């Protein structure tokens, strides 16, 4: 899906500092299309929640401007922005029934009672809670309370819905179920959603695009498959999915490919993605599922001798930890088909991979420090 239409939400040169010195958000330029599901993903303190709070109106930018539907909202109070909010702690009124919780934003907007009743019914049916309208939040499970919070955010047909770690308090199975339900609601309604999480699996499952934050800066903005398959920095490669890292230095470059010397192990042929020049250090990024066990000699440009350290059975695949190229934490994922891989701990094997599956990236870990 391509997002080339005019921006519905636009951050222009937005900065945020609380102490006048440290920038929590640094020179943010971000366009969000109408109807898009955009996730802001990153570790704690990366600036993603502060960005969401500025969009909601609970924080003011130190510098720069934010546009919503072509209009500046820099000086607009939160209740006039026509934005729905869903929080991790649900933020429901415990003394009100489910229907009364949903009625609250409609009363604030002076919606007629008959229209409000129809909207409440429609919103509760949407989250499959039509029979729970007379219950209070304390009589509901965590998942049901989160559905009520979602219905309340949607009941007044907002232009935009913001979600701040909304599934963080739920158990794994319920969280995965809610991911699918929220994505389905988004598809049905076409509402614009900006979603904040530190859970990369959640972001990959739900998003049209993901903005990976670190140190107050967007490290990469792309569709989920693009981020996973083609990370542009060592930080993104490490933060999105499992990733093998091999440290070395560039010994040759030829267009889009390069050769990297791994100390004591030899050379690796890789894609030159974010590298400086011959003689400079780099970090190689390689997904565990792209590594092959015991490939035929000469069948791959990169083949190395390894020792099996550990096998972990995980149902649909086996996770094999090996020692190779001076690293004893190198992981190979093998699908558990036809009985799984026929190797044992302590065995000597070979592992190999294609050059196009191995990406030479920057040595920074995304925080300005050199990756170890």
In order along its 372 residues, the chain shows pLDDT tens digits of 444 457 999 999 999 999 988 999 999 999 999 999 999 999 999 999 999 999 999 999 999 999 999 999 999 999 889 999 998 887 899 999 999 999 999 998 999 999 999 999 999 999 999 999 999 999 999 889 999 999 999 999 998 999 999 988 888 888 898 899 999 999 999 999 999 999 999 999 999 999 999 999 999 999 999 999 999 999 999 999 899 999 999 999 998 999 999 998 999 999 999 998 999 999 999 999 999 999 999 999 999 999 999 999 888 889 999 999 999 999 999 988 766 677 889 999 999 999 999 999 998 644 433 333
Q: Which domains does the chain have, with CATH numbers?
A: 7-229 (3.40.50.300), 240-361 (2.40.50.100)
Instruction: Report pLDDT for 364.
Output: 66
Determine phi and psi for 186, rounding to 5 degrees: -60, -45
What are the structure tokens assigned to 242, written together?
């499992």
Q: Residue 158 contacts by C-beta under 8 Å, 6 or more apart in sequence?
A: 82, 83, 84, 191
Instruction: Report pLDDT for 208.
Output: 97
Instruction: Report pLDDT for 130.
Output: 93
Number of Cβ within a 10 Å radius of residue 187: 11
Instruction: Report pLDDT for 369.
Output: 38
> Nearest to residue 153, comparing CAs of 145, 163, 143, 144?
163
Instruction: Report pLDDT for 1.
Output: 44
Q: Is the pTM of this model over 0.75?
A: yes
Instruction: Report pLDDT for 7.
Output: 92
């Amino acid at each position: 899906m391509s997002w080339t239409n005019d921006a519905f939400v636009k951050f222009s040169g937005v900065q945020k500092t609380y102490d006048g010195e440290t920038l929590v958000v640094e020179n943010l330029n971000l366009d969000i299309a109408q109807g898009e599901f955009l996730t802001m993903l990153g570790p704690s303190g990366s600036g993603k929640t502060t960005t969401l709070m500025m969009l909601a109106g609970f924080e003011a930018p130190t510098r720069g401007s934010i546009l919503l539907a072509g209009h500046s909202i820099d000086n607009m109070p939160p209740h006039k922005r026509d934005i729905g909010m869903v929080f991790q702690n649900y933020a429901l009124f415990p003394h009100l029934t489910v229907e009364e919780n949903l009625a609250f934003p409609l009363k604030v907007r002076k919606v007629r009672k008959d229209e409000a009743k129809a909207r409440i019914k429609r919103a509760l049916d949407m989250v499959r809670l039509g029979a729970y309208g007379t219950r209070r939040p304390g009589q509901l499970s965590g998942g049901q309370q989160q559905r009520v919070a979602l219905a309340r955010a949607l009941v007044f047909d907002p232009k935009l819905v913001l979600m701040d770690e909304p599934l963080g308090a739920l158990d794994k199975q319920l969280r995965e179920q809610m991911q699918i339900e929220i994505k389905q609601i988004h598809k049905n309604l076409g509402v614009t959603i900006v979603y904040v999480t530190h859970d990369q699996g959640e972001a990959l499952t739900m998003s049209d695009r993901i903005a990976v934050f670190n140190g107050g800066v967007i490290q990469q903005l792309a569709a989920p498959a693009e981020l996973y398959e083609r990370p542009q920095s060592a930080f993104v490669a490490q933060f999105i999915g499992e990733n093998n890292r091999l440290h070395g230095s560039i010994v040759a470059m030829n267009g889009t490919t390069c050769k990297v010397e791994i100390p004591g192990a030899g050379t690796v042929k890789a894609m030159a993605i974010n590298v400086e020049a011959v003689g400079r250090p780099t970090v190689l990024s390689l997904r565990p599922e792209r590594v092959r066990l015991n490939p035929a000699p000469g069948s791959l440009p990169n083949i190395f001798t390894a020792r099996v350290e550990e096998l972990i059975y995980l149902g649909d695949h086996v996770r094999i930890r090996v020692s190779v190229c001076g690293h004893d934490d190198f992981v190979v994922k093998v699908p558990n088909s036809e009985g799984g891989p026929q190797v044992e701990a302590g065995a000597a094997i070979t592992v190999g991979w294609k050059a196009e599956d191995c990406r030479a990236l920057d040595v920074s870990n995304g925080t300005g420090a050199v990756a170890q």
